[in-house]
Amino acid sequence: MTIFKKYFVGSVCLIIALAASVSHAQTNKPLKVIVPFAVGGASDTYTRLVVQKVAEQSGRTIVVENKTGAGGRIAFDYVAHQTPDGSMAVLIDATYAMLPGLFNNLTWDVSTDLVPSAFITQTPFVILVRSESSYMTLKDLVSAAKANPNQLNYGSAGVGSTNHIVTERFNASAGITLTHVPFKGMSEANFALQSGNIDLIIAALPTALSGIQSGKLRPLAVSSAKRSALFPRIPTAEEQGVNGFVTSNWFGFAFPKGTPKDQIQLLSDSVNKALADNDVKEKLSAQGAEIINLSVEEFGKFVQEDTKRWTEITRSKQIKIN
């Protein structure tokens, strides 16, 4: 081999090695994950559980930061306007899909400015009455509501809250009209239910766990397509004749628009690997969460479809936040 050829081959090898090194460095760059809600809630708990396992498995530095306020909008807007270099992601959930129907003028485009990357988990909602209630089944509740329109009332965490919108979807599916009583949070609504001041609430399963396990609340139905593995004795709403009430509170990560596709795919692959870990599976299952492995494309489609469903409900029920 001539000196020129040796030099050329050596240079090519060096360039390839440097490119691989740069790619590896970019792939393993530190990641900040923004959680739009307070420490200790389901969004925060699931995020920290999964990213800790991702960090352990990959060696990647991942920092979780809570940026609360305005029902998540502060965090979503903040991340949507960050440099799209793969260094920052945000936790999105069912609340995110409800925003376009609730607000006329968001400061970012829900459909394009945050790109779904990694689906974490989903949990069903539970229809709950107090343990002393005369309603033993969902059919009892629906029959009473149909016989007495607007006489039964339900509590929520406030106008436009997830629980408010989910219950209005239940009303539409069941063909009933319940009176809405908004509270400042689900803890207040829960207390009002246990005190007998309202007739029912619909809460995410992790929120309802303590009330169910203590026997203070009676679960009438779950909103999932099949029964919860954690509470297999609780029938679904569809099993009891409420067709179409199949929904969930879901959680996943998204990046700012323009983030390199390899960064988006990397987080998706890393999260799916973390979700396969037995310890992660057990901790999520203990809260009634269901693990579903979705590709980047499948998650994106899921968010689009969920946004469309919730927008239809909020508009048909004329639910708006000024």
Neighbours of 178 (CB within 10 A): 22
Return the SS3 of 181: strand
124-240 matches 30-123+249-316 in CATH topology: yes
Give which of 206, 209, 151 is closest to 176, Cα–Cα: 151
Please report, as a single letter, which amino acid is at residue 310: W
Fold of 124-240: D-Maltodextrin-Binding Protein; domain 2 (3.40.190)
Residues of the chain with pLDDT below 70 are: 1-28, 322
Strand-pairing partners, residue 156, are 182
pLDDT digits (tens, 9 = 90+) for 87-97: 999 999 999 99
What pLDDT was estimated at residue 322?
Answer: 66
CATH (one of 3.60.40.10, 1.10.1060.10, 3.40.190.150, 3.40.718.10) for 30-123+249-316: 3.40.190.150
pLDDT single digits (tens) 232-287:
999 999 999 999 999 999 999 999 999 999 999 999 999 999 999 999 999 999 99
* Alpha helices in 148-197, H assignment, sequence order: 162-174, 186-194
Domain ranges of the chain: 30-123+249-316, 124-240
